[in-house]
Amino acid sequence: MMDDYLAQRKRMQISQAEIDRRIADAPFGPTSKKWASRWLSAESWGQVGLALFDLPPIVERAENDLLIDADGKEYVDLLAGFSVSSLGQCNKEIAEVIRNQAGTLVHYFDLPHPERIKLAERLKEISPTAGGDSRVLFGVTGADAIELAVRAARFYTGRPMILTAFGDYHGVTYSTMALTGKGGMWAYFYPVLPHCEGVGYFPFPYPYQSPFGRPPAGEDDQAWCLDRLRDYFEYYFRSKESPYREVKGGITNVAAFVVEPFQSSAGYILPSAGYLKLLRRLADEYGILLIVDEIQTGLGRTGKLWASDWEDVRPDMLVTSKALGGGLPLSAVVARADILEAWGPGAHVSTQAGNVLACAAGNKALELLTANGFLDKVRADGAYFEAGLTALAKKHPLIGHINARGMYIGLELVRNRDTREPAPDEAGFILKECVREGMVFEKGGYFHNRFQLIPPLTIRRSTIDRALGIFDRVFAAAERKFGR
């Protein structure tokens, strides 16, 4: 087993020759290439930028939905800093708040200040949790907040196990890595693997590439997938040999489900309708807590404030980050009051948690996100983007499937629409060519054949048109190259 990880580690390593090749081949100007050489002489080669792209653009400036690199080349921004810059890069109102706050108070350790208190109150108001009253807990990063939620769930219930879906992403700290179904990354934890973290996995109901196989002719993908997941839980919760023990009698060792409502890093995948409702029902039946990771799906990304709002599900804990700090690092857990009141003073601390600038920017961000009509516009602009992509799918057989909610848009590339055979090489080629044309986004997916489109929620229609134009040209080039 360990040998496998060692072999995998060798395969994943990158050489100086490969770095030189990537810099030489990159579609960037001379200044960017110089910066790239300096970057990779100074920073670790384990960077995510070298995994997401051959070489990422070296970005110097940005305006709302456009990034500008060190040579002045523009890129349509379909990354939005992984949804951190949801309100657009360099949002003027947020920038003004940060400037003003920087002259008043910048940091006060993990201690109270008015901006933090206002933000906690506002988060309580806008985050639906089961059971009425709630309390807030601040962190710095997404993984940080997930760890806090898991710790609180175990402390409150006195149970060790956490259940999550294969393909979920909850961070890459030691404990969150156990919850992150990215097997490829485990080798990087060699030789102390995140195995021992008390985590069990279940299949994610991904209707297009169902983990349960395709439904019998005439049956609906979505319902089929959810029914199979329901059967799976029933079976394992009933079984006398269940690793989750005798659940029917109310005795279980499972503290919580920790789930993404839609799977983001796995490829912006919408599950079968009813997924969260099913988990809420099981949680209620067996006294398990439902922890919903809204770090990527929350704060308006899907056209509602929270993705769980699409199913009207109230979690016991909701975890948020990314856009929360208005561009600055901040995360929070909003949980049922009785769960967080079970802790005593000093149960948690982090030097950087609840930073004043981040909380002030966060208060402004929440004001903008919850302003009248803002989410209506996100839904309307998202529908416009989706309609443009649907029109492209008529011309380009490589586009097998589009799933979209608001500005949460996933595209799946296939070699054959009937068999749904994934098209990972084609996807890799298209991403590279889009960077050349001036557009960035993430490629992911269980089969490396999905595009996650994460524009700022404030993207202009003219920029959406520009993105569609680039996709049109590059899909045509891919179809010529790969012969479709």
Ligand X SMILES: Cc1ncc(COP(=O)(O)O)c(C=O)c1O
Q: Which residues bind ligand X (CB under 6 A)?
A: 82, 141-143, 146, 169-171, 260, 264-265, 293, 295-296, 321
Whole-angstrom Cα distance, residue 36 to residue 265? Answer: 25
Cβ of residue 383: shortest distance to ligand X, in angstroms?
Answer: 24
Whole-angstrom Cα distance, residue 227 to residue 248? Answer: 19
Cβ nearer to ligand X, comparing 307 with 464: 307
Cβ nearer to ligand X, comparing 252 with 321: 321
Cβ nearer to ligand X, comparing 209 with 321: 321
Cβ nearer to ligand X, comparing 294 with 437: 294
Task: Supply the DSSP string of 60-120, one letter for each residue.
Answer: EEEEBTEEEETTS-EEEESSHHHHTTTT-BT-HHHHHHHHHHHTT---BTBS--HHHHHHH
Cβ of residue 368: shortest distance to ligand X, in angstroms?
Answer: 21
Cβ nearer to ligand X, comparing 170 with 336: 170
Cβ of residue 348: shortest distance to ligand X, in angstroms?
Answer: 16
Q: Are 162 and 289 in contact (CB under 8 A)?
A: no
The candidate with the shortest Cα–Cα distance to 362, out of 390, 335, 323, 332, is: 323
Q: Around Cβ 217, how many Cβ atoms within 10 Å?
A: 5
Exposed e or buried b for every residue in 431-450, given b needs 16+ CB within 10 A? bbbbbebbbbbbbbbbbebb
Cβ of residue 331: shortest distance to ligand X, in angstroms?
Answer: 7
Whole-angstrom Cα distance, residue 28 to residue 34? Answer: 10
Cβ of residue 87: shortest distance to ligand X, in angstroms?
Answer: 18
Q: Are 79 and 442 in contact (CB under 8 A)?
A: yes
Whole-angstrom Cα distance, residue 63 to residue 350? Answer: 32
Cβ nearer to ligand X, comparing 35 with 408: 408
Cβ nearer to ligand X, comparing 325 with 438: 325
Q: Which residue is nearest to ligand X (CB)?
A: 142
Cβ of residue 169: shortest distance to ligand X, in angstroms?
Answer: 5
Cβ of residue 373: shortest distance to ligand X, in angstroms?
Answer: 27
Half-sphere CA count of 8, side-chain side, radius 13 A: 14
User: Kind of pairing, strands 450-453 and 161-165?
Assistant: unpaired
